[in-house]
Structure 1
Amino acid sequence: MNNLTIDRRRFLSASAALALTAYGANGMNMLHPTAQTYRVGLIGTGWYGKSDLFRLIQVAPVEVVALCDVDKNMLEAAGKLVSQRQKSGKVPKLYGDYRKMLDENKMDIVLIGTPDHWHALQTIDALKSGAHVYVQKPISVDVMEGEAMVAAARKYNKVVQVGTQRKSTPHLIDAKKKIVETGLLGKVAHVEMCCYFHMRANGNPETQAVPAFLDYEMWTGPAPLRPYDGLPHIRWWRTFNEYGNGIMGDMCVHMLDTVRWMLGLGWPKKISSTGGVYVQKEGKSNIADTQTAVFEYDNLNCVWTHRSWGTPANADYPWSLTIYGDKGTLYASTMQYDFVPVDKKVEKIHKDVVYEKEKYPEDQTEERIELNAAPATRLHMLDFLSAIEKKSRPVADIEEGHISTASCILANISMKVGRPLVYDPQKREVVGDKEATALLKRPYRAPWKHPEPARV
């Protein structure tokens, strides 16, 4: 890497820090540039784990000291890519067991980009090791995991930022500030959220031998051990409830979290859901292809709908949220927002997603990058670093991530038991429902032990 590249990196880091100040008034932390170089590790070197890491490298002085993955091929390829992206040019140490990585390296920050069923154990172990954590959403596969993660963050006094980067998405910050907070919507009394992407993998691959480069036992970890039927990377693992919470846990968590942030909402008062596999019955997938959930607040219902078949209700907003007020409606997605007033004399407002292709030209050659999400993730990383430096809570603090994640998990439990649920976060139980309460904690496969959500 030449001096020109290094100088450009420094300039971009400073520019990104300055860019963040524009959003400070919206509740995000404002970064005070530091000379400190953060020692960073990544657990899970797949598509999004690398994407998060590369965004961090773009905006902060970091040294990636270690990478961990159970797929040796993916791990080695990630090591080479990181050496090309980071300032030192060094290939990080490579590990197949995250526990060994944490034991042998003192890291300031650990990024977690593994499948959902690993988030809780890896987050808690990283916190115990002394690191701050950036963990992908949803934070957990069951509600008690999330409670344990929040407790661990508070116990070890570390910053945990959740990858719900919609809170750091420029045009959505603008919508919150200019539409919601100014009162243009009037009285808000209904919200609709949806996802109509055909994203449910649903094949019938045959059982096969586990390849030598993959530690499938470690990949599975605390989850049930399914017969191996091909690499689970990318989308295949998401199609099974053994490892996550379906489209509800994957996509609703983003939109519900954004709505909660925009409207200042906490735990729902009641959650109900119906759905199942109604159309796509031909494959192995056991996640719902059709589902509706209602998250009830005082004088406000937030309604989620997903279908992984058919056409979207609104082609311009296939994965989105709609906030209805008596003075107007806000349509918002990762790509744009539109404000439509009731009063025809009031102007409509439209804003598109911000891209930074010219500022960060390396984005355009990065494999599978979500160009629309990259600017948001960069701001999210800056907010994370600012919270570390200021010893404050980040915009997507672990507790907020837990509320959004747990609400989606509770919706799935409601769908399973066939009735509405009221969760008490103080008692950590579903009020008056022993069957549903028992489902707040999934059994772990031996020898892994479920983390206990002990009081701090």
Structure 2
Amino acid sequence: MPQTTRRRFTATAAATIGSAAISNSMLAASTPAATAPSERINVGMVGMGARGFQLLGDFLPLNDCQIVAICDVDDFHYRDNAWGKGTAYGRKPGQEKINKAYANEKSGTPQKGLAVYADYRELIAHKDLDAVIVATPDHWHARCTLDALAAGLDVYCEKPVTHLFAEGKAIVAEVAKRDAVFQVGSQQRSDESFQRVVEIAKNGLLGDIQSLEVGLPPGYEKPMGSTDVVKPRETLDYDFWCGPSKVLPLMQARHHRWWRGHRAYGGGVLMDWIGHHNDIGQWAIGAERSGPTLVEAVNWTYPETDVYNSPHQYTIRCEYDGAITSTISSRNRQGLKVIGSEGWVYVRRGKMEASDKRWLQKDFSAGPIRMPRQQSHAANFLVCVRSREECIAPAEIGHRSITPGHLGYVSEALQTPLRWDPKRETVIDNDKANTLLNAVTYREPWTFS
């Protein structure tokens, strides 16, 4: 497929390929040696930190895509480790990793001239780009994503899909407006164990669902590194790293890895993990495109340091239609427990438990309702870029899965429970809460519109 016709192909593929062909031949296309080099999907990646490198590990082996451009504001670093210790990240190590992977390719053509950028806008403008992977800190997710969508690109964005609630609404609207393919990096949705829990719930084996127990890790209790204020290294554009958020003094305890402890850049461990386990919980009860009707923050505690301003311990109590309740809490057992009138099932990464041991057997079938099995989360994105079908973790579901976290912060700030209208996405009879929830303040010259 010539580069000049790639977009025309992806725009019309859904109309010319039957659903059976999509599920079979397209999945086969994501295996090595299945796609000619000229037919590969050209992908750019923004963010060459630890998560970016993990995603390289997911996408590089897939023969139907080609990483043609990368971007980061830092040329070279060692994340939160001492200098020279552990894995190196940044533009140069990312370039080396990609070139090495393609040089070792046994089929097709190795990478030709990987483009390396320090400004994501230049990457988005890269010639013949088809899709962008956003693996930045949370406060950059919306700006990178909205600009990529505006350029006609499909997007794979890490969770949580956005830093602020209003950003999430904007992305959902933009994806729909442009009929774009969007995948949230909530990989648990493509994991068979988590899908089995959803199947058990949806096939009625638990009886009437009564409650969810969503267990997330606690936040940072103390500084997670040195609090000495330092000058940015010459290889780091720290002002650009801060981007639309405020510029806080640079320190190890609030930079690589630990930035999410301060709400200028992230939403704490709460927002880091809610898009995983709460996502599966809402999927299990059929609320993945709606949400709770009441949200209340209870018993939040904070670290005894001004380095961070996100909670150390937290609980968010929710109510859903159908008399279903949930707690999203650092005090719950980490993972997800779905409790019904006829039994319960629990899952976390690498572990599953149930009131009925038969449900744990490898060949067990919960019933006719089945979740779509994926070769991988990354492969699902590429399949959908070609077919124009919806990914397994689309923008709306990613946004809805973290909404209780956004509401929890507002409830905590106002010290009141919030009645929520999930259809209109508004707090009922509380103007102050709606103002807080929808607030977006970008640092100049960055804008949100």
Check whether TM > 0.5: yes
SS of match in other structure, 2:317:
strand
> Pick from 55, 60, 67: which aligns with 1:57?
60
Residue 380 of structure 1 is matched in structure 2 by: 377
* Pair 1:247-2:269 in alignment: yes
Residue 96 of structure 2 is matched in structure 1 by: 80
CA distance in 2, matches of 1:428, 1:244: 22
* Pair 1:322-2:337 in alignment: yes
> Pick from 383, 397, 401: which aligns with 2:398?
401
SS of match in other structure, 2:215:
strand
Residue 360 of structure 2 is matched in structure 1 by: 350
Compare 48-57 and 116-125 and name the one that shifted more: 48-57
Unaligned regions of 5+ residues in structure 1, if any? Answer: 1-20, 308-312, 342-346, 353-375, 452-456
> Pick from 300, 314, 318: which aligns with 1:276?
300
Please give the per-residue CA displacement for 1:285-312, whole angstroms capped at 9, x wherever unaligned.
21100100012102101111115xxxxx
> Pick from 254, 274, 295: which aligns with 2:318?
295
Query: Contact 2:292–2:422 (CA<8 Å) still a contact in 1?
Result: no
> Pick from 433, 436, 456: which aligns with 2:433?
436
| Code of the aligned partner of 2:416 | R
Report the CA distance between 1:124 and its aligned residue. Answer: 0.8
Report the CA distance between 1:406 and its aligned residue. Answer: 2.3
Residue 125 of structure 1 is matched in structure 2 by: 147
Query: Contact 1:53–1:111 (CA<8 Å) still a contact in 2?
Result: no
Residue 50 of structure 2 is matched in structure 1 by: 47
| Code of the aligned partner of 1:437 | N
CA distance in 1, matches of 2:351, 2:248: 40
Distance 1:328 1:234, change over 3 A: farther
Distance 1:428 1:182, change over 3 A: closer
Query: Contact 1:165–1:377 (CA<8 Å) still a contact in 2?
Result: no
| Code of the aligned partner of 2:313 | T
| Code of the aligned partner of 2:266 | G
CA distance in 1, matches of 2:91, 2:408: 35
* Pair 1:71-2:106 in alignment: no
CA distance in 1, matches of 2:25, 2:283: 15
> Pick from 335, 353, 364: which aligns with 1:338?
353
Residue 152 of structure 1 is matched in structure 2 by: 174
Query: Contact 2:214–2:326 (CA<8 Å) still a contact in 1?
Result: yes
CA distance in 2, matches of 1:259, 1:127: 29
CA distance in 1, matches of 2:198, 2:410: 31
Report the CA distance between 1:434 and its aligned residue. Answer: 1.5
Count of residue pairs brought into register by the alignment: 387
Query: Contact 2:420–2:428 (CA<8 Å) still a contact in 1?
Result: yes
Please give the per-residue CA displacement for 1:386-444, whole angstroms capped at 9, x wherever unaligned.
22222211110101111112221111111111112234456553222121111122211
SS of match in other structure, 2:149:
helix
Report the CA distance between 1:96 and its aligned residue. Answer: 0.7
Report the CA distance between 1:283 and its aligned residue. Answer: 5.9
Report the CA distance between 1:89 and its aligned residue. Answer: 4.2
CA distance in 1, matches of 2:25, 2:40: 19
Report the CA distance between 1:275 and its aligned residue. Answer: 3.8
SS of match in other structure, 1:392:
coil
Residue 195 of structure 1 is matched in structure 2 by: 216
> Pick from 158, 164, 168: which aligns with 1:142?
164
Distance 1:66 1:200, change over 3 A: farther
Unaligned regions of 5+ residues in structure 2, if any? Answer: 1-19, 77-89, 363-372
TM-score normalised by L of structure 1 = 0.79
Residue 365 of structure 1 is matched in structure 2 by: none
Query: Contact 2:219–2:312 (CA<8 Å) still a contact in 1?
Result: no
Distance 1:231 1:195, change over 3 A: closer
CA distance in 1, matches of 2:236, 2:358: 53
TM-score normalised by L of structure 2 = 0.80
Which structure 2 residues correspond to residues 154-193 of structure 1 after superposition, within 5 A?
154-177=176-199, 179-193=200-214
Distance 1:388 1:29, change over 3 A: farther
CA distance in 1, matches of 2:152, 2:68: 15
> Pick from 27, 30, 38: which aligns with 1:31?
27
Query: Contact 2:117–2:123 (CA<8 Å) still a contact in 1?
Result: yes
CA distance in 1, matches of 2:261, 2:113: 33
Aligned-pair RMSD on alpha carbons?
Answer: 2.5
SS of match in other structure, 2:355:
strand
| Code of the aligned partner of 2:45 | L
Query: Contact 1:44–1:114 (CA<8 Å) still a contact in 2?
Result: yes
CA distance in 2, matches of 1:444, 1:412: 19
CA distance in 1, matches of 2:424, 2:195: 34
Please give the per-residue CA displacement for 1:324-357, whole angstroms capped at 9, x wherever unaligned.
111111011111211114xxxxx454369xxxxx
> Pick from 207, 229, 232: which aligns with 2:229?
207
| Code of the aligned partner of 1:71 | D
Query: Contact 1:46–1:233 (CA<8 Å) still a contact in 2?
Result: no
Residue 450 of structure 1 is matched in structure 2 by: 448
Please give the per-residue CA displacement for 1:356-405, whole angstroms capped at 9, x wherever unaligned.
xxxxxxxxxxxxxxxxxxxx996111221222222211110101111112
Residue 291 of structure 2 is matched in structure 1 by: 267
Which structure 2 residues correspond to residues 17-28 of structure 1 after superposition, within 5 A?
none
